[in-house]
Amino acid sequence: FTLALFLLFSCSKREVVLKVGRRKLTKEEFKERMSQIPVYYQGFLATSGGRRQYLEGVMKEYILLEIARRRGLEKRPDIKRRIQEAVDNILLEEIIEDLKQKELKVTEEEIKDYYEKNKEQFLHPLKVRASHILLPTRKEAEEVLKRLKEGESFTKLVKEYSIDTLTVDKGGDLGYFSRGEMVPEFEKAVFSLKNLGDITGIIKTPFGYHIAKLTGRKKAESKTLEEAKEEIRRVLVEEKLEKLIDFYKKKFHAYINYDIVDKISPPWETNKKEEEKEK
């Protein structure tokens, strides 16, 4: 009775739901495929019609793959190389995840210790807040700047002149930003302002002509341990990985022959020289 049950179970595991040439998809393999389907597609596969339609698509793939196999495409050197590259990429992803759970695992204590010793590395950058008036021509920008210097309200002139539809109803307010978030010309002018309320000269950018007003400043400040935790984890993982690579370099007798490397010309340079000779 036990043996009969075992044989029945073994057969059910091997139930074939799809077959094309030598390639088969068993019931268990199909269920495994379904378990990996994205959530948004699961409702479709919950119906018999959906599963049938899905398998029709799989069958088309298998037919094309069988044609490729019979034509010997997998034996072509370029395809062999691409297959190996795909396998290597999968293995790299898997080994990194495996190492993170073992040799590269970072403890909470290591993170805390690194944070205490390197607090100055983990800063919220200096941020400024500014409002601006965006104008299409230098002539208009000069007129607006003149009126500002005469004491007219910045907000009033924003409403009257600014062509920035995203900020015109907010008095030209751009909110807080740090270096690298704005175009360089605008950023340089605003960050050079010393006091709140100071106004820049005319700033030319690809968007037009700006006049900006400094309305806020936040000093650079240290991140909390919680804020810096994932950044520190990445740093420590990278450090451990470098040590691990150094260890295995010696173990695997790994080396690079730089004498040969330095004499190799990139293919595009070689092609360029050949084209010049033909001319």
Structural domains in the chain (count): 3
Q: Residue 278: is its pLDDT beyond 90?
A: no
Which pLDDT band, with edges at 50, 70 and 90, does 8 fall under? very low
Q: Give domain status of residue 155, yes or no.
A: yes
pLDDT of residue 274: 65
Q: What is the reported pLDDT for 190?
A: 97
User: What pLDDT is recorded for position 265?
Assistant: 85
Domain boundary among 182, 200, 222: 222
pLDDT 10s digits, 74-126: 999 999 999 999 999 999 999 999 999 999 999 999 999 999 999 888 988 99
Number of H helices, E strands in the chain: 12, 8
Whether residue 1 lies inside any domain: the answer is: no
Can you give the residue range of the structural domain that contains 70? Answer: 15-75
Q: Are residues 166 and 238 in the same domain?
A: no
**In the predicted model, is pLDDT for residue 176 greater than 50?**
yes
Residues 14-62: tens digit of each pLDDT: 799 999 998 999 999 999 999 998 888 888 889 999 999 999 999 999 9
Q: Say if residue 206 is in the same domain as residue 231.
A: no
Asked whether residue 25 falls in the same domain as residue 61, the answer is yes
**213 and 146 assigned to the same domain:** yes
> Are both 181 and 132 inside the same structural domain?
yes
pLDDT at residue 167 is higher than 50: yes
pLDDT at 276 over 90: no
List the one residue out of 189, 160, 6 whose CA is nearest residue 174: 189
Look at 123 and 247; give whichever has higher pLDDT: 247
Position 39 scores a pLDDT of 87
218 and 230 share one domain: no
Q: Are residues 213 and 196 in the same domain?
A: yes
Structural domain includes residue 210: yes
Report the alpha-carbon distance of residue 211 to residue 141 in Å, rounded. Answer: 7
**Residue 266 lies inside a defined structural domain of this protein:** yes
Do 156 and 179 sit in the same domain of this protein? Answer: yes
Residue 241's nearest CA partner among 109, 103, 97 is: 103
pTM: 0.56
H-type alpha helices, 118-201: 138-149, 154-161, 184-191
Both 228 and 194 in one domain: the answer is no
- Helix or strand holding residue 176 (H, E): strand 173-178
pLDDT of 2 higher than 70: no
Q: Is residue 113 part of a domain?
A: no
Q: How far is residue 233's CA from residue 181's CA, in Å, rounded to a whole number?
A: 26
Same domain, 190 and 180: yes
Do 49 and 32 fall within a single domain? Answer: yes
> Are 148 and 208 in a shared domain?
yes
Q: Is residue 261 part of a domain?
A: yes
Half-sphere exposure of 275 (CA within 13 A, CB side): 6
